[in-house]
Amino acid sequence: MTTNDDSEPEPDETESDDGEPNETESDDGLSHPTRDKKHVRALTDGDYADMWVFCETQGGELLEVSKEMLGKARALMDQFEEDYGDEEDVVAFLMGDDCEGLAEECIAYGADVAVYHDDERLERFLHKPYTEIAAHMARGEGTVESTDWREYDEPRYILFPATNNGRDLSAKVQAELDSGLASDCSDLFIEENEVSNPVKTGEPGVKKTVEKVLHMKRPDFSGFEYSTILCLDNPDRDFHPQGASVIPGSFEPLEPDSDREGLVVEHEMDIPDDWFRVEITDYDRLEAGIDLTGHDVIVCLGRGIADDPTAGMELGLDLVDAFEDAELGITRGIVTSSYQFEGHVEAYSKEERQIGETGQVVAPDLYIAAGVSGAVQHKVGMDESDTVVAINTDTDARIGDFSDYFIEGDLFEVLPRLTAAVEAGETALEPEAVADGGDDDD
């Protein structure tokens, strides 16, 4: 795994089976510290193909992010065929209790092949069996019937959802397959890449072009910058599948097409009972929280409402109501404040409405941030919005750096004017009309 600079890992000594250190092989003058790992089956010059997508399920349904990843994988592999002339498949893989129907649904959402493992003991996510089965599937192990559609060692690419379970599983499966992982990615594309690092080329001073490289973009430093991670083989060691976990909401799912044709394959494997040493004896279903994603408009309130928190909240809600499809979000500043909200608006001050790094990530057509300073932890949750309108008394507020319109003014004066403008059907947003909080005639 490497960022674009391909940093070289430190050399080390490895142990042989009898516990004695091995001499690190250095036939090419370079060290390969993990080449002799015994617990995994590393490959060299393996055959790789297809993009695999782990389709997480919950309560007998595919998670939305599973559909989103399938849509993205479809687009990537269609482009792959155009670029390289090779037809490679999108392969969904999943497991659970009675999940054959879900495998068929994966085909409707863009997969060419769906491999599923049915076992009532797999109804809920469990580390050991889920990891073992996923790695077994990826290696092409299983029954003859389940593997004759593929003629390669391991997937070329593999995607997991960056959910709680998906993050766990992705790290474990990629370790099992002796590859790496770019976690929490928000964009993916496939391109060639020119490398000069001798660890990757095998020879100092030589440039080499590597084809079909999955470029995995992810936010770093709380979204302050984006890095592109590449997973490139060494001359003596393969790093496949090239793997990523994907932030929910990053991609659009395809419209499901129940007439799409694809291959549904049942996976078989003996699963020992001692993989189920963790027994789930009881569980509670959390009440569904507020989903702020997918709305045309988000009105977000920040600590600028401090002078009268209840009135500020009411004004934000009035503006939400003026739009056809809007929701109210808040900053963490409000969640952690000690504001005393009156009962009718108190529910809107809870963490479930928080937008940002530790809250929800939204990308509406219009994002109206009232009394929000624009901390980097907030920015990462709204950065992808089409149009950002900021209302702030402080022209130096950081949110000005990433707003399309900045309205200098007191939100207690600006918000009612904005609401009136929207209610009056002035759909083309004209922030100047409400910017100065001045007389009623403008």
Name, in order, each residue with C-beta under 8 angstroms of 432's C-beta and a sequence gap of 6 or more. none
Site membership for ligand FAD, residue 309 (CB under 6 A): no
Q: Is 393 in the site for ligand FAD (CB under 6 A)?
A: yes
* Cβ–Cβ < 8 Å for 24, 11: yes
> Under the criterion CB under 6 A, does residue 377 sit at the interface with ligand FAD?
yes
| Single residue of 53, 111, 214, 397 touching ligand FAD by CB under 6 A | 397
Does position 71 interact with ligand FAD (CB under 6 A)? The reply is no
**Is 67 a binder of ligand FAD (CB under 6 A)?**
no
User: Which 227-266 residues touch ligand FAD, going by CB under 6 A?
Assistant: none
Please, which residue, 345 or 375, has the CB nearer to ligand FAD? 375
| 403 lies in the binding site for ligand FAD (CB under 6 A) | no
**In the set 74, 172, 303, 417, which binds ligand FAD (CB under 6 A)?**
303
User: If binding is defined by CB under 6 A, does position 353 make contact with ligand FAD?
Assistant: no
**Does position 359 bind ligand FAD by CB under 6 A?**
yes
Spell out the long-range contacts of 380-386 with Cβ–Cβ below 8 A and sequence spacing 24 or more: 380/219, 380/222, 380/223, 380/356, 381/355, 381/356, 381/357, 382/298, 382/300, 382/355, 382/356, 383/223, 385/298
Residue 31 or 377: which CB sits closer to ligand FAD? 377
CB-wise, 149 or 339, nearer to ligand FAD? 339
Is 388 near ligand FAD (CB under 6 A)? no
Residues 317-346 that bind ligand FAD (CB under 6 A): 331-334
Q: Decide if residue 302 touches ligand FAD (CB under 6 A).
A: yes
Say how many residues touch ligand FAD, by CB under 6 A: 28
Stretch touching ligand FAD by CB under 6 A, among 209-217, 241-249, 263-271, 370-378: 370-378
State which residue has the least CB distance to ligand FAD: 356
375, 420, 429, 433: which one binds ligand FAD (CB under 6 A): 375
Among 354, 385, 403, 419, contact with ligand FAD (rule: CB under 6 A): 354
Residue closer to ligand FAD, measured from CB, 173 or 305: 305
Could you say whether residue 410 binds ligand FAD (CB under 6 A)?
Answer: yes
- The tokens for 14 are 């490895």
Q: How far is the CB of 127 from ligand FAD (least distance, A)?
A: 27
What track of x and - describes contact with ligand FAD for positions 119 through 158 (by CB under 6 A)?
Answer: ----------------------------------------
Which chain residues interact with ligand FAD by CB under 6 A?
A: 302-304, 331-334, 354-359, 371-373, 375, 377-378, 381, 391-394, 397, 410-412
